[in-house]
């Protein structure tokens, strides 16, 4: 069984935590995030956040670890930020952006133009001889993951040639083709 909920969360310099009416608000140099929680007690003291559960029931144990992880992700997000990188693998696959509009050429008859949320900063890197990379950065880990998953869903990597959109560093399960 996990003991994640019992670990205290260290508060870095420049981050302020406010706990009111079952809502935790975290402010830092990169932005502000808030999370509502239930039945778990949150205490901020001595540059640490400590979460306590009211009982040892299965529901309280799972919420204890969940809320600790969510608050930790918020603290890291407003102090350092979160980044996801996607790689476009395939002949003729291209990516470009104008502000918050991401333009993807993925081998379809038309380009896919996606409007990215204003909280997420998008950047595209295209070097000659290398696969294009889409870099997403934000203070909200959940939002970055959601946007990255949406972009990946346009053309998931296929198992034979590995063509498609994959996360940088992702290992793909490859299959052997037809044997002659």
pLDDT tens digits, one per residue of 137-147: 999 999 999 99
- How much is the average pLDDT of 9-14? 93
pLDDT of residue 139: 96
Checking 47-54 for CB contacts under 8 A at 24+ apart, the result is 47/10, 47/11, 48/8, 48/9, 48/10, 48/11, 49/8, 49/9, 49/11, 49/17, 49/75, 50/8, 50/9, 51/5, 53/5
Residues 64-86 have pLDDT tens digits of 999 999 999 999 999 999 999 99
Domains of the chain: 4-79 (3.90.930.12), 82-167 (3.90.930.12)
- How much is the average pLDDT of 128-134? 94
**pTM, to two decimals:** 0.89
pLDDT at position 2 over 70: no
pLDDT at position 1 over 70: no
The pLDDT-based confidence of 29 (bands split at 50, 70, 90) is very high
pLDDT of residue 146: 97
Percent of the chain with pLDDT over 70: 98
| Average pLDDT score, the chain | 93
pLDDT at position 180 over 80: no
pLDDT at position 22 over 90: no
The pLDDT-based confidence of 89 (bands split at 50, 70, 90) is very high
């Amino acid at each position: 069984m996990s003991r994640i909920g019992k670990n205290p969360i260290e508060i870095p310099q420049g981050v302020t935590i406010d706990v009111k009416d079952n809502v935790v608000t975290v402010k830092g140099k990169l932005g502000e995030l808030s999370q509502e929680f239930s039945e778990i007690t949150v205490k901020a003291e001595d540059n640490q956040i400590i979460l306590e559960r009211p009982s040892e029931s299965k529901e309280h144990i799972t919420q204890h670890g969940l809320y600790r992880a969510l608050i930790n992700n918020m603290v890291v997000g407003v102090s350092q930020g979160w980044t996801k990188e996607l790689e476009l693998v395939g002949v003729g696959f291209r990516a470009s952006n104008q502000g918050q509009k991401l333009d993807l050429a993925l081998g379809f008859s038309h380009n896919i133009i996606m409007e990215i949320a204003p909280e997420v900063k998008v950047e595209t890197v295209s070097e000659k001889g290398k696969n294009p990379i889409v870099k997403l950065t934000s203070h909200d880990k959940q939002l970055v993951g959601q946007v990255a998953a949406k972009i990946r869903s346009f053309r998931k990597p296929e198992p034979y040639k590995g063509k498609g959109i994959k996360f940088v560093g992702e290992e793909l399960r490859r299959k052997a083709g037809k044997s002659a």
